[in-house]
A and B are shown apart, each in its own frame.
Chain A
């Protein structure tokens, strides 16, 4: 983990005091989302590529290394380097669809 250029004036206890409940709620939202997905009718027989990416990203959160945000974003990025032939759609999925790059 690179050292901060402009460190937070807060210590760990203060950060936990300020943010814990908010992120506990977000964790429960994430858990509920995964349960909701599992409960739903399995219309394709395969894990949706976005859910696969999410599970891989969750593993990264508890691997003991830092720079988690950048690493999650990297995991959910297209790592090819050449321009594509044509823009087929305008939007993006949030993580590379199968066959990207």
Chain B
């Protein structure tokens, strides 16, 4: 079954991963800009990263028949120094013009600090100004509930962004209902130890339905699994869920959300 992994950090993965993903049915991915595991020391470091996302990585993915798209931003883990973040943000508009860029992301909060919130609001304004889709990272573990609410409040209070053009990622059982009820799209991230397992993702789909919900591996340089999406598909299939609901969360929903940007190409 063909599928889309709408959140994966391929700059941290090997060609073996691309090959295995292609074999498992992956035909398109989207890669949000994120933290490299260390703080970059200059805006130039970000510039090179954005070039990698918009130039090198699409060519690497194409070798395996996978269409590569990306999102550009300063991730919240590097937003605490607001002056530095603003310097980097001045580079973003140029990259929003590139042909594989779908929008601004993954923006959001990490430790729910004041500066993170200020930089989030400035990214939201940028997205609004350039009419971009938005991909939102929500904080980890104990910080997730508070951060998810602060982010949704900031979007509603300070922008006219249509929640139908914003995906709130890394939802879990305690945040998914609120995200969907407020009109946003929701992403479930399948991780071995934190966030959701494929089994819990299938449970969430059973509890909350298949509308405005997708799954991703968020594979990166840490403990993660680039084949997590096909594993969740297998989990739904072995429970006996029908093909239509499986296809909706692994294909139809990503195509519907991402297709709001004319640059998205699932290769249909």
Q: Are A8 and B146 in contact (CB under 8 A)?
A: no
Q: Nearest residue in B to A19 (C-beta to C-beta)?
A: B199
Bound form: Cα–Cα A5–B174 in Å: 16
Q: Mark B191-216, 1 if CB is under 8 A from A, else 0.
A: 00000000110010111111000000
Q: Nearest chain B CB to A92's CB is how many angstroms away?
A: 4
Q: Nearest residue in A to B149 (C-beta to C-beta)?
A: A81
The number of chain B residues with a CB under 8 A from chain A is 38
Contacts of A79 in B (CB 8 A): 145-146
Contacts of A77 in B (CB 8 A): 142, 144-146, 174
Given pairs A84-B111, A95-B142, 12 additional interface contacts (CB within 8 A): A6-B207, A9-B239, A73-B145, A74-B174, A76-B141, A78-B145, A80-B146, A81-B146, A81-B149, A83-B113, A90-B35, A92-B143
Q: Mark A68-101, 1 if CB is under 8 A from B, else 0.
A: 0110011011111101111111111111100010
Contact of B77 among A6, A90, A94 (CB under 8 A): A90
Q: Are A92 and B140 in contact (CB under 8 A)?
A: yes
Mostly, the B contact residues are helix
Is B247 on the interface with A (CB-CB < 8 A)? no
Contact of B146 among A5, A18, A78 (CB under 8 A): A78
Bound form: Cα–Cα A6–B200 in Å: 14
Q: Can you name 28 A-B pairs with beta carbons within 8 Å?
A: A5-B206, A5-B208, A6-B206, A6-B209, A6-B241, A7-B206, A8-B241, A18-B238, A67-B173, A69-B173, A70-B174, A76-B141, A77-B145, A77-B146, A78-B112, A78-B146, A81-B150, A83-B113, A83-B114, A83-B150, A85-B113, A86-B80, A87-B113, A87-B115, A92-B141, A92-B143, A93-B141, A100-B142
Bound form: Cα–Cα A83–B6 in Å: 29
Q: Nearest residue in A to B111 (C-beta to C-beta)?
A: A87
Interface residues of B (CB under 8 A from A): 35, 77, 80, 110-117, 139-146, 149-150, 172-174, 199-200, 203, 205-210, 238-241, 245
